[in-house]
Chain A
Amino acid sequence: MSTATLAEVAETYRHPESLGNFLRDRNPITLLVALVSLAVVAAAVPGLITPFAVCAVFVLLAFAGGVGPAYTATYLKLWAVVGFILFLLRALLLDGEHVYFTFGNLQVTAEGVYEGLRFAAVVMAICGAVTLFFALVTMRRLMLALEMRGVSPRASYVLLASFQSMTDLGATAKVVLDAQKARGIETEGGLITRAKAFFPVLAPVFLSAMTATEERAIALDARAFNSPAAHSHLVQLPRTATWEWLAAGLFAAVATACVMGRFLGWL
């Protein structure tokens, strides 16, 4: 990379970081409030239409945020596995008056199917909100937004490092497994073969992670991580407009109203 390109990279940090998408450039906190509010509405409003509509809205928002295909594929998989199982459990186990058909001791009733569909849709709306949020927002942007609102850099580091450590642990486990494989130990094949190879590597993987954590703590200390000075930030998020906070407030108000309405019997 030439010096000119280095200058270009440096220049990008002089301005608020834009991801070039209206939705993804929103403040992560307002986006989180909006998505959680939608999930709450899905859970609070009775009937099937609202939770299914909220799920559909999440897919539309994913396309608006430029992550549509990947999000839809993940969401469909979640529906196919989690949603379907939740539906089946409710549909098969819930008693009702209108019996569609019977499997031995199990009865599929109209009430069970309804409750199964609603329960699955509500849970999937909640899953959808979480999945969409992390599809649209990186952990780094979320923690940066939280730091701007007063969360300590230490707490922010712990969260970010925890997520990174999952990746690191996976990579270390793979290295140890490859080393085992090189020594002639069977690491591939059926579930039992793989389990036999995998469980013994857990101890060295976690021990090395603990050692690495101590070294990393000292290395961070060398970067003045414990400095009492107020930390500054290289990366800036775009300024959050007033309308964005108002919109988030509106979403939260609607969600609160729905919950209150549910408990007070308005809905």
Chain B
Amino acid sequence: MALASLRDVRFTYAYSDRPALDGITLEIESGMVHGIVGLNASGKTTLCSLIRGIVPHFHKGELEGSVEILGRDLLEWDPAELSRTIGCVFDNPFTQISGIRETVFEEIALGLENLGTPRAEMIERVERVVEQLGIEALVRKNPNGLSGGQRQKVAFASIIAMDADVIVIDEPTSQLDPDATDAVFGIIADLKAQGKSIVLVEHKIDLLAEYADRLTVLRAGRIVTTGAARDVLTSDELIAAEVPVPEVTELSRRLDAIGRPFVRTPITSAEAAAAVSARIQEASNAH
């Protein structure tokens, strides 16, 4: 079953005269990392909000077209049930902490408390998530005193503890330093390995190239292109949408322009390293 199925969707926020999404037809499959890219104000966050039901349940507006989440019409979902089914991690680490819990351990357990999880199971799940994310050093700390990167890890831990099969992640690294960014993508890699369905909005295209199975490119609320990550990242539509291509793909394009193309356009640094090694090997064999 598709995670989300959108047919000719148009959404205009209340008090806005321009649609945030327009003519969106998209199928997001389960069990994959589906990346969403685009310039600012291209509709990425609105698309995430739609999949998560924040639009139109929380942010009101005019919704046209059909949106099905896990086979059920979005408007038929109870918002509370949808919030349990689809986990969500947002871009601002400073507003994802409840502010009412005294320790990180308690903060991670908050979602489980809201679900009425028995205490013994709650403790066990929090312990497991803390170990999984390697944040043992934080459990005693007050969440209000954590850095942005630490808060983002705690936000992830809180959502993972709730064990949703689907997680929508909206620009998780936009306010983080490189180390914290790597840590967050480590978590996303773990979630992917566990078979979770992930919808990921991210500006760092090199990281998306590493982790996304499929990509959708948005511009001014419309889909420019969608498909397998490799196809999208090597397509001209990406450049037309003014979205930066991965550095290694750009390198490949430039080599192509001077008549020295790689056999296969790399989209990740590992693929580029392999291509460069092959090129060096080829050159040394020729000598």
Contact = CB atoms under 8 A, between A and B. Distances in A.
B115 A227 contact: yes
Contacts of A231: 113-114, 116
A192 interface: no
A126 B84 CA distance: 45
A56 interface: no
Given A219-B90, A221-B83, A222-B87, A6 B113 contact: no
B155 A1 contact: no
Most chain-A Cβ atoms within 10 A of its Cβ — which of B90, B105, B113, B120?
B113
Nearest to B82: A221
B119 A161 contact: no
Interface residues of B, number: 50
Contacts, number: 135
A222 B122 contact: no
B83 A9 contact: no
B140 A234 contact: no
Most chain-B Cβ atoms within 10 A of its Cβ — which of A2, A217, A223, A228?
A223
A218 B100 CA distance: 15
A167 to B, nearest CB: 7
Nearest to B120: A14
Given A6-B136, A9-B105, A233 B90 contact: no
Interface in A202-240: 212, 215-236
A224 B162 contact: yes
A1 B137 contact: yes
B138 to A, nearest CB: 8
Contacts of A227: 80, 83-84, 114-116
Interface string A116-150: 00000000000000000000001010000000000
Contacts of A100: none
Contacts of A140: 100-102
A7 interface: yes
Contacts of B136: 1-3, 5-6
A218 B87 CA distance: 11
A227 B79 CA distance: 9
Interface string B89-101: 1101011101111
Main secondary structure of the interface of A (DSSP, over half): helix
A78 B117 CA distance: 45
A222 B167 CA distance: 10
B239 to A, nearest CB: 33
B20 interface: no
A168 interface: yes
Interface string B20-42: 00000000000000000000000
Interface in B115-140: 115-120, 122-123, 126-127, 130-131, 136-137, 139-140
Contacts of A1: 136-137, 139-140
Pairs A-B, 4 closest by C-beta atoms: A223-B111, A215-B95, A229-B116, A160-B100
Interface of A: 1-3, 5-7, 9-10, 13-14, 138, 140, 153, 157, 160-161, 164-165, 167-168, 212, 215-236
Interface of B: 52, 54, 58, 79-80, 83-84, 87-90, 92, 94-96, 98-103, 105-106, 109-120, 122-123, 126-127, 130-131, 136-137, 139-140, 144, 155, 158-159, 162
Given A160-B100, A226-B80, A233-B113, 7 more contacts: A2-B136, A9-B105, A10-B126, A216-B96, A221-B54, A232-B113, A232-B115
